[in-house]
Amino acid sequence: MKSNFDIDELRTALAQEARALGFDCIGITAPGTIERAGQHFLEFIASGGHGDMDWLAAQPERRIDPRGLWADVRSVIMLGVNYGPDQDPLAILKQRTRAAISVYAQGDDYHDVIKKRLKALARWLVAAASRELEPCEVKVFVDTAAVMEKPLAQTAGLGWQGKHTNLVSREFGSWLFLGAIYTTIDLSRDTAETDHCGSCQACLDICPTSAFPAPYKLDARRCISYLTIENKGPIPRDFRKAIGNRIYGCDDCLAACPWNKFAQEGREAKLAARDELRAPGLADLARLDDAAFRALFTKSPVKRIGRDRFLRNVLIAIGNSGDVALAEEARRLLDDASPLVRGAAIWALGQLVPRDEFVAVKIAAMSTEQDNSVREEWQAAS
């Protein structure tokens, strides 16, 4: 021991520093506290619930116990950033010619914003610990490695995993981004939070695609967040209508949670909704070329899916718009260079124009279409 500063004082100072850096909550847990969640994770992977997210299934030993990722970790510091919306996120779903982008993606990418803060806090910890107590090492994560952030946040006392599988906080409801710092120093632990869902199942009932086979279990393959963000191919036909105008992620189960009555608006300007992403018109989005797409979504997580997947999603929303005027956008995109976009344009057009008109377009297009997936889309649409 180098000074009178003890481990609890270090913890208190760490919490103050976290707050100053823009984190809204902090809790500390030990690496060996998520054994049951690890078991559930293995069951989830065995059932195939992760769909095409092979990265999620890879090296499970690293994910199910923090010591599998880093043998020297002694404490896990979990942090939350509130991104509570300033409007009802479900209101946009009624504006069918406009696009619904999920709350988390209307501002800057949280990975970038939070990672910078985690690094700053970790640097502070390394300096304070070695100055006052003993040297320590750190690693930071925000959805960037094999870390079970939600169960760790629960054992660190930040909230509990609700029936929609996300962490619910008494203070911030469903709207918390999570980040983690693993460290080699032994810090005092917080008490785990317990489940406060009770008999409520509002999140399960609202899900448009029935993605919950049971409370606390999500089949990611049915979740609109997966279908519009992670899924690289065409959107499976069974889910297209249910997607409505959601073009990037989904907030329905989060928004339905009654614990949101305690939620507050987020205080980080970088994560706040950009005006142009609150309710963009589908027609404008359908006209984005690659450069315009990149410009509109600079620093936004939406950029990650690229222009073609994005247009695929916009076309599904156009097909669901009920607005015949938008058929022109679909018709134009039948000639797009991307087969993914052409395939979604076929479906959209089929939803909006009369059958005889659609069949005439199909006959003309089939005479030149070379791509098998697009030809299949025409066939299925008849």
x/- track of binding to ligand SF4 for residues 198-227 (CB under 6 A): --------xxxx-x------x----xxx--
Helix ranges (DSSP H) in the chain = 7-20, 35-46, 54-57, 60-64, 66-69, 110-132, 149-155, 202-206, 224-225, 237-243, 252-255, 282-286, 290-296, 306-319, 327-333, 339-352, 355-366, 372-381
Query: Interface with ligand B12 by CB under 6 A: which range of 5-13, 174-182, 318-326, 365-373?
Result: 174-182
- Cβ at position 134, least distance to ligand B12 in Å: 29
Q: Which residue among 24, 109, 143, 356 is the active-site one?
A: 143
Respond yes or no: is residue 143 known to be catalytic: yes
Which of the 8 DSSP states describes residue 221?
G
x/- track of binding to ligand SF4 for residues 253-272 (CB under 6 A): x-------------------
- The count of residues interacting with ligand SF4 (CB under 6 A) is 13
Instruction: Yes or no: say if 52 and 230 are a contact pair by the CB < 8 Å rule.
Output: yes
Backbone angles phi, psi at 27, to 5 degrees: -150, 160
Instruction: Yes or no: say if 185 and 74 are a contact pair by the CB < 8 Å rule.
Output: yes
DSSP of 349-373, one letter per residue? HHHHS-HHHHHHHHHHHHTT---HH
- Cβ at position 268, least distance to ligand B12 in Å: 13
- Cβ at position 210, least distance to ligand SF4 in Å: 8
Task: Give all strands (DSSP E) within 145-279, no chain letters.
Answer: 160-161, 167-168, 176-183, 246-248
- The count of residues interacting with ligand B12 (CB under 6 A) is 37
Q: Indicate the residue among 133 and 207 with the shorter CB distance to ligand SF4.
A: 207
At 170 the three-state DSSP class reads coil
Closest CA to 121 of 72, 186, 180, 187: 180
x/- track of binding to ligand B12 for residues 223-242 (CB under 6 A): x-xx--xx------------
Residues in touch with ligand B12 (CB under 6 A): 37, 40-41, 44, 53, 56, 102, 104, 142-143, 147-151, 161, 164-167, 176-178, 216-218, 220, 223, 225-226, 229-230, 249-251, 253-254
Residues in touch with ligand SF4 (CB under 6 A): 164, 206-209, 211, 218, 223-225, 250, 252-253
Residues marked as catalytic? 143
